[in-house]
Structure 1
Amino acid sequence: MEHSKITNSTSNVLPIWNLNSLYPSMDSPELKKDLEKVAEKSLSFETRYKTKVSQLTGPQLAHSIVEYEKIEEILGRIMSFAQLIYSGDMLDNDTGNFHQSMHEEVTRISSHLLFFNLELNIISDADLKEKLKSPELNHYYPWLRDLRVFQPHQLDDQLEKLFLEKNISGRAAWTRLFDEKIAELSFSIDGIESNLAEALDKLSNKNAKTRKIAAKEISSVLKKHVRLFSLITNTLSKDKAIEDNWRGYEKPISARNRVNQVEDNVVNALVETVSSNYQSLSHRYYALKAEWMGVEHLNYWDRNAPLPGNDDTTIEWSEAKEIVLEAYESFSPTMASIGKEFFDKNWIDAPTRPGKASGAFSHPTVPSSNPFILLNYQGKLRDVMTLAHELGHGVHQVLAARQGCLMADTPLTLAETASVFGEMLTFQSLLERHKGDSRKRKLMIASKVEDMLNTVVRQIAFHEFETSIHDKRRSGELSPEEIGDIWISIQQKSLGPAIKLNDDYRVFWTYIPHFIHSPFYVYAYAFGDCLVNSLYAVFRDEGSDFAEKYIDMLKAGGTMRHQELLIPFKLDASDPTFWKKGLLLIEDLITELADD
């Protein structure tokens, strides 16, 4: 299948999302009415239940949770709309003001609800066990179970309220500063002004000179702002350390593991397994790539360069849609049907534009609405895989919505499973399309290996970088030079001797949003990739029986933990050999390339 350049035909116009399923506009009467209604409901809820939660019977407690869930649904709808509007254009003053105003108003309203979770957590285990005999309350057992995980780290009411309200002028403000600074950065490459997403895309350009110019320009622009990004990183790291200390978390990662409902030893096993296999994974692959490109070492800007023989043609949007939905359909008509809704109902925002958030995400919003996907689509095979990835999230979010506002969210470790599985389905479908073309097959396998290395090795290296930054920050503020030293050291260790890093690369940590938005998020990508590799092996053995069990796993949302969800597939993430099995698929693909 040859890809043609994107045209201006109607079928290839990149979609822009329609957020009307949330609210028609920033000044809509519906939004104003919801704000008034939810403020009134939260005050009424506080008046009726504060200091009385532990005294409620099982059915009464269930009724109070139903009320609480309805309030949270409205608040979630408001903040989802504000966040999506803001993500579409972070440089527009009206949009920025609206997002900040909604954040402040929702925080004010939420302060009246804070008592509820705190009082739920002071109910004794024995008393709660008795109350859970009520079928109505037992429905919410998964939510109560996960809430009580944080019981040892809970503070008194006034301190919790202080942390909630100070977040607006603390972490949230610094995060907004980061987002808006990234959005306003401009890169001049070959006489064209580009935003960050467009500039980073040039690093996979077919032209070596363009890649080098782009890398130098990205470094030059980031260097001008490295002190600001260092200040943001230092401040947020210290902010986290202060809160962790108050809450009694032993390590910087401990809070994230609690949120992810994953044991420390499982995460440690993942990190140790991946890092101990850098040599057989990234080191080996990049040495092969250097050989294919006729050099001894690859410059860092050539790490994601197209391989010799890659035609570098553009995949039009209509074709990307067809590729992904066809792959989903071959696995599960249910997944394809849900996925099709995202295209038909304008739940996707695909084009790059000034001020738009970089990268990609699928926002679940709330169960009474629908998810929305943000992309920066530029027609590369990687963009198609990103579409497959985010659509996997979206399908998962639609299926899990039936669990309701409090139990639909899945821990990050399992949230990445559906997305990475969507990528795997698309990759295997494309391989099947080109099974008679050995050249195309090699290029596709190499591209998939690079994606997997970016998902597994790169993310674990990010995790090691974060861990080092947070650990060292406890002894004092880190200079940009010190942060750059840590970054270069870990990148060299993970990428191997075939990749040549220089001083220009010392600032490439600055633009990565996960370090700012969600500390210690990144290992979830590696968790998801290794888990999917194991799941896909089960799928190949079981065939049609697998799809139904997989859909049931996605429908479970946050009601089950990873141990329970993996039982039908006879997988156990606590098994020390589990992660190595997940890495074997990557090693096998690299071996296939080496033997070609």
Structure 2
Amino acid sequence: MTTADLTWNTALLYPAPDSAELEADLGSFDALAADFRERYFEKIAQLQPSSLLEAVREYEALQVRMAKPFCYAHLLFAADSSNETTLSLSQRCSELGSRLSQQLLFFDLELMNLDDAPFQALCSLPQAAPYVHFLNGIRKFRPYTLKENEERLLTRKNLTGVSAFTRLFDELSASLRYSMELDGQVREFTGEELLSLLHHHDPDVRFRAMTTFLEKHGQNGIVFNAVFNNMALDHGQEMELRGYSSPIQPTNIGNEIPDEAVEHLMAVTEANYGLAQEYFRLKAGLLGMEKIRNCDIYAPLAESRKSYEFDEARDLVVASYGAYDAEFGRIVADFFTERRVDVMPRPGKSGGAFAMGISPQTPPFLLLNFTGTLRDLATIAHEAGHGLHFVLSQKQNMLNYHAPLPLAETASVFGEMLLTRRLLDSESDPLLRKSLLCAKIEDIIATTFRQTVLTRFELRLHTERSKGLLTNDRVSRIWLEENEKLFGNAVEMIPAYSWGWSYISHFIHSRFYCYSYTFAELLVLALFQNYCEKGESFKPGYRSLLESGGALSPTETARLAGIDITAGDFWQKGYDFLGGLIQELKAVL
């Protein structure tokens, strides 16, 4: 593939950031929102059910129109946050989005406060069936919603509050440059390139890579501390205004999962931390170390230092999906043939990886930072699964397009399982098979145990911030204490790891998102066990799960694939599966 083939073609959305097409769309929204407000403001309660439904459809159409240019601006910003044109467009969209939210806010509020009789009359219309879950979702927040003027003030305040601090975090993170000696030469690295060295065979390189990365964040600790403190303070004040009982409660309501169920999920996970510690001790033996450090967790085994060219990695992922379902394989391949993927790390580009689903009418895009490791191979499968999910859920309307957070990781984690199975089935080298088995165990640990650590840290951060400003030393102490619970005496944390909290964007972009990874991983382990047992008969239910998008609750969606997440021992079954993998590794050793 050429260099151009490795960057995404955003011209599929708009020809350029200064194009007439983009300007026409952005320039139309204020008038469209004002017209919608003029026709429906303070009139929702007087409308007949059929007219109410028409208003919902108009609202949906507005959401579709706005999604494309706003997502386009985000893609450009993610690809190069140092570009002045991109920065200007991103800021313009941020400010425009705030204005539009203020104009359209009344609609949710009036639907929320509609009397039960007319609300039920609307939901009873046969044509309203595709919107019922969305409408009920709005009503869930009824006890915590303020009057329209107050809601508009909060939305306006966010532009110079939460949104401004989020933007500061993103721009600072993307601007950081790192210098480190490697192979006898001092080189400049992006953050993603440095983190990829945690898969290096030399333990000194792994230590210096993690230390260099985290110490650079420490050098900017004043800014990161200000961002985290202010984000937590802002959230806490808003929760107090709305009457929530805990900082995680609004996330759980949105996810349609009771607080008690989330707590149970995390408690079961913490009760199984011993499995992770058992594996860490095994890994130390495999690496010839008395005790591993946290920079050694993803180290390759001495016998296998395989790296992947991107073409090879892409073909393996496409083949993994295609072996499960030919159409799935074609959908994943289209991301690459249509250049809807940005592949390589570079200065100014956002770190990590993501998939962006725009609307049911617009194709999704993927961002990667590929450096050739086995973990990067798994990341392609992961983000391709997100992309597949977005394509299949295009059967839904815009208001039901995005899956709820607990199910948002289902297709991505299932895709990783498909890749692992293909690699294990096609690999005859026992040493490489051992490496693959370790990689899968490490992946499950990272997406269950580590995510619970992150969620516990986030909860403590918000709880303690409500009592006063948190110093960097205090934030770091909370961070290390939660990690100590997972690592026990099996893993030594390096000194720079006290800054490990400072680069995790989920804390900034998607509050309390992390437990969704745990939810999804354990759900997928159950789904994959069903697939192995049932074969072809499993596939229709799983496809229905992905196609449902956000049209059902997590419990109802899981039932489409034959899974009951309310069963008392459901979460433990996933850890029993992990325990089996560890025993299998012991047998190989």
Whether these two folds match at TM > 0.5 is yes
Cα deviations across residues 471-530 of structure 1 (Å, max 9, x unaligned)? Answer: 111111111001111111111211231211143211111111111111111000111000
SS of 1:302 mapped into structure 2: coil
Q: Are 2:419 and 1:431 equivalent residues in the alignment?
A: no
Q: Counterpart of 1:58? A: 49
Query: Quick check: 1:452–1:586 contact (8 Å CA) kept in 2?
Result: yes
Q: Aligned-pair distance for 1:135?
A: 2.0
Mean Cα deviation higher: 504-513 or 135-144: 135-144
Query: Quick check: 2:291–2:490 contact (8 Å CA) kept in 1?
Result: yes
Q: Aligned-pair distance for 1:144?
A: 0.3
Query: Quick check: 1:13–1:317 contact (8 Å CA) kept in 2?
Result: no
Q: Counterpart of 1:188? A: 179
Match of 1:316 among 309, 315, 330: 309
Q: Counterpart of 2:443? A: 451
Q: Are 2:396 and 1:403 equivalent residues in the alignment?
A: yes
Please list, as runs of the form range in 1=range in 2, the aligned pairs for 1:409-424 lying within 5 A after superposition: 409-424=402-417
Match of 2:469 among 455, 469, 477: 477
Cα deviations across residues 232-267 of structure 1 (Å, max 9, x unaligned)? Answer: 111100000011111111111001111212222221
Query: Quick check: 1:11–1:318 contact (8 Å CA) kept in 2?
Result: no
Match of 2:142 among 116, 138, 151: 151
Q: Counterpart of 1:352? A: 345
Q: Are 2:166 and 1:172 equivalent residues in the alignment?
A: no
Query: Quick check: 1:12–1:317 contact (8 Å CA) kept in 2?
Result: no
Mean Cα deviation higher: 265-274 or 523-532: 265-274
Q: Counterpart of 1:203? A: 198
Cα distance in 2 for partners of 1:343, 1:548 equals 26
Q: Counterpart of 1:38? A: 29
Cα distance in 1 for partners of 2:370, 2:244 equals 40
Cα distance in 2 for partners of 1:384, 1:522 equals 22
Higher relative contact order (CA 8 A, sep 6+): 1
Q: Counterpart of 1:515? A: 507
SS of 2:409 mapped into structure 1: helix
Q: Counterpart of 2:239? A: 244
Q: Aligned-pair distance for 1:315?
A: 0.8
Cα distance in 2 for partners of 1:263, 1:563 equals 11
Cα deviations across residues 358-417 of structure 1 (Å, max 9, x unaligned)? Answer: 000001012221111000011111111000000000010011122121110111110111
Cα distance in 2 for partners of 1:222, 1:137 equals 50
Cα distance in 2 for partners of 1:38, 1:56 equals 25
Mean Cα deviation higher: 492-501 or 454-463: 492-501
Instruction: Tell me which amino acid in the other structure corresponds to 2:311.
Output: S
Cα distance in 2 for partners of 1:554, 1:219 equals 37
Match of 2:543 among 551, 558, 565: 551
Q: Aligned-pair distance for 1:70?
A: 1.0
Q: Counterpart of 1:388? A: 381
Query: Quick check: 1:12–1:318 contact (8 Å CA) kept in 2?
Result: no
Cα distance in 1 for partners of 2:485, 2:455 equals 13
Q: Counterpart of 1:96? A: 87
Cα deviations across residues 256-279 of structure 1 (Å, max 9, x unaligned)? Answer: 111212222221111000011001
Cα distance in 1 for partners of 2:555, 2:326 equals 27
Q: Are 2:520 and 1:525 equivalent residues in the alignment?
A: no
Cα distance in 1 for partners of 2:128, 2:43 equals 17
SS of 1:391 mapped into structure 2: helix
Q: Aligned-pair distance for 1:13?
A: 7.3
Q: Counterpart of 1:497? A: 489
| Paired residues, number | 584
Q: Counterpart of 2:570? A: 578
Cα distance in 2 for partners of 1:304, 1:132 equals 51
SS of 1:107 mapped into structure 2: helix
Instruction: Tell me which amino acid in the other structure corresponds to 1:477.
Output: L
Query: Quick check: 2:541–2:562 contact (8 Å CA) kept in 1?
Result: no
Structure 1 ranges of 4+ moved more than 4 A: 11-14
Query: Quick check: 2:49–2:118 contact (8 Å CA) kept in 1?
Result: no
Query: Quick check: 1:230–1:479 contact (8 Å CA) kept in 2?
Result: yes
Cα deviations across residues 42-73 of structure 1 (Å, max 9, x unaligned)? Answer: 11111111111111111111111111111111
Query: Quick check: 1:464–1:490 contact (8 Å CA) kept in 2?
Result: yes
Cα distance in 2 for partners of 1:245, 1:82 equals 33
Match of 1:227 among 222, 232, 241: 222
Q: Counterpart of 1:3? A: none
Query: Quick check: 2:295–2:494 contact (8 Å CA) kept in 1?
Result: no
TM normalised by structure 2 equals: 0.97
Mean Cα deviation higher: 166-175 or 124-133: 124-133
TM normalised by structure 1 equals: 0.96
Instruction: Tell me which amino acid in the other structure corresponds to 2:294.
Output: Y
Q: Aligned-pair distance for 1:352?
A: 0.5
Cα distance in 1 for partners of 2:93, 2:246 equals 33
Instruction: Tell me which amino acid in the other structure corresponds to 2:360.
Output: P
Unpaired runs of at least 5, structure 1:
1-9
Q: Aligned-pair distance for 1:338?
A: 1.1
Instruction: Tell me which amino acid in the other structure corresponds to 1:294.
Output: G
SS of 1:132 mapped into structure 2: helix
Q: Aligned-pair distance for 1:334?
A: 2.0
Instruction: Tell me which amino acid in the other structure corresponds to 2:505.
Output: P
Match of 2:128 among 137, 149, 165: 137
Cα distance in 2 for partners of 1:458, 1:481 equals 21
Cα distance in 1 for partners of 2:4, 2:285 equals 39
Instruction: Tell me which amino acid in the other structure corresponds to 1:205.
Output: H
Q: Counterpart of 1:287? A: 281
Unpaired runs of at least 5, structure 2:
none
Cα deviations across residues 271-290 of structure 1 (Å, max 9, x unaligned)? Answer: 0000110012x101000011
